[in-house]
Amino acid sequence: MHQDQFVKVFDILDSGYKNWPFAAFGLIAVAAGIVVAALPYILPRFGIPFAIFQSRAAFGFSRYFMLAFGVLWTLGAFALTYSQYHQHELLARQGACQLIEGSVEQFQPQNPSGSGLESFVVSGVQFRYSNAIVTDGFNDTAANGGPIKGGEYLRICYDPHGNVILRLEIRGFTGEVKDYSRAHNFFAQVGANRNVPGTAVNLLFQWIGTAIFVVVLIDFSLITVLFRPYLKAFIRLKRIATGEVAVSAAVQLDRAIKLSNTLIRWDRTDRAIWLRPRGYNLVQVPGMVAKLNLSADERSIASDEIRLSWTLVVICVLFLVGIYSAVTSMPFTNAQARQTAFIGMLLQGAMVVGFFCFVSLRLRRDMDRLVQEALQEIADMTRLGPSYRSER
């Protein structure tokens, strides 16, 4: 290749509309919203129990919120990104974009944490970009394998409104010619190149995400089968006296008994009855069980305890570890930047803990309703005897 020959490494006319994954992401919420909105019609057909914990108005709003959000996100993101692309594509096609040449000066790569912007100056014009920014222009940073390292001689066609690079050519480019016009894989594996700055943090977040998935799966499975040694380690959130609810002999069996929205199982070792949500309620009230403590003669329920799985605590801790790791890995230029970052870390940690407490209180309230409903059913089962099921 001749040293004075320009090599085109990016052209918006080649890339096309590459921001479609950003808009299409809303379709996930649309699909989930359709399922949630249809649940009151789907679940009864399959005989799957579920409870409406809110008022009818609030329940209707929550049912359609995700669907509305997904539709608005998809349409809004598409309108915004495609209109921007159409404007830039027209500028490049008609040759109306601003054209400059010159050497790369004042090159500032993306910081080692993988956040922030990369920037450089050519002929007095500054360009700033990042792979994390949604744009139809050039945005491949050096940390992510981009062609600009500093000192290159460039020819750039750009939109002066925002200095968006629409076409990029490098004189005497001898590096690997990659498809820098490609649409970035929205679901690409983060941290595939372990030599890229910031990869350690990205890999940590991958590990945290995997750990959360595994913990939730194990927790859900053990709660579903009412694995008693596991349930005994749960955190007790609330204990109240029930007023001696009588228990029939039908409950005193070593098998699970299905109630309307819950499932119960006798525990002779602890002289108690374990209770968990049933059907879709397992999703509505995750990580919650109740222990119905029996009287000394085991003929009545003396008190009930609402218990929370350690899973939510573990998830909260994992989020805090992620926040701490992300902040401590940042390259601080001065003490003030470090202090600001740590204040931000404390605020984010407080938000995570606050959200954990809010969720715990909300789940406890919903579980309390399921317990009270179950106690009434147990009382009716004892009072009516064999005719209980037939009347239902």
358: domain range?
198-384
Whether 99 maps to a domain, the answer reads yes
Domain count, the chain: 2
Q: Are residues 154 and 254 in the same domain?
A: no
Q: What tokens were used for 126?
A: 């500054």
Whether 356 maps to a domain, the answer reads yes
Q: pTM for the full model? A: 0.63
Q: Are residues 236 and 336 in the same domain?
A: yes
Q: Are residues 162 and 287 in the same domain?
A: no
Distances (CA, A) of 306 to 94, 125, 160, 251, 344: 69, 64, 62, 20, 35
Q: Are residues 339 and 255 in the same domain?
A: yes
Whether 358 maps to a domain, the answer reads yes
Confidence at residue 324, expressed as pLDDT on a 0 to 100 scale: 81
Whether 5 maps to a domain, the answer reads no
User: Helices 26-45 and 56-93, interaxial angle, to 10°?
Assistant: 150
Q: Are residues 36 and 159 in the same domain?
A: yes
Q: Are residues 262 and 361 in the same domain?
A: yes
Confidence at residue 193, expressed as pLDDT on a 0 to 100 scale: 41
**Listed residues 156, 171, 186: the one ending a domain:** 171
Confidence at residue 249, expressed as pLDDT on a 0 to 100 scale: 74
Confidence at residue 391, expressed as pLDDT on a 0 to 100 scale: 43
Whether 8 maps to a domain, the answer reads no
CB atoms near residue 261 (< 10 Å): 20
Quote the CA–CA distance of 99 and 166 in Å, as a whole number.
10
Confidence at residue 181, expressed as pLDDT on a 0 to 100 scale: 56
Whether 182 maps to a domain, the answer reads no
Whether 295 maps to a domain, the answer reads yes
Q: Are residues 119 and 265 in the same domain?
A: no
Output the tens digit of pLDDT for each of the chain's 392 residues.
456 789 898 999 988 888 888 888 889 889 988 988 888 888 888 888 888 776 666 566 667 888 888 898 899 889 888 998 999 999 999 989 999 999 999 999 887 666 678 999 999 999 999 887 888 899 888 888 888 988 899 999 999 988 999 999 999 887 776 666 555 544 443 333 434 334 455 566 678 888 889 999 999 999 999 998 999 999 999 898 877 788 877 777 768 899 999 999 998 888 899 999 999 899 889 999 999 999 888 888 999 999 999 998 899 898 888 888 777 766 555 677 678 778 888 888 888 889 889 889 989 999 999 999 999 998 888 777 655 554 44
Q: Are residues 257 and 121 in the same domain?
A: no
Q: Are residues 219 and 346 in the same domain?
A: yes
Q: Are residues 277 and 333 in the same domain?
A: yes
**Listed residues 103, 136, 171: the one ending a domain:** 171
Whether 23 maps to a domain, the answer reads yes
Q: Are residues 114 and 240 in the same domain?
A: no
Q: Are 257 and 264 in contact (CB under 8 A)?
A: yes
Confidence at residue 387, expressed as pLDDT on a 0 to 100 scale: 55
Q: Are residues 162 and 216 in the same domain?
A: no
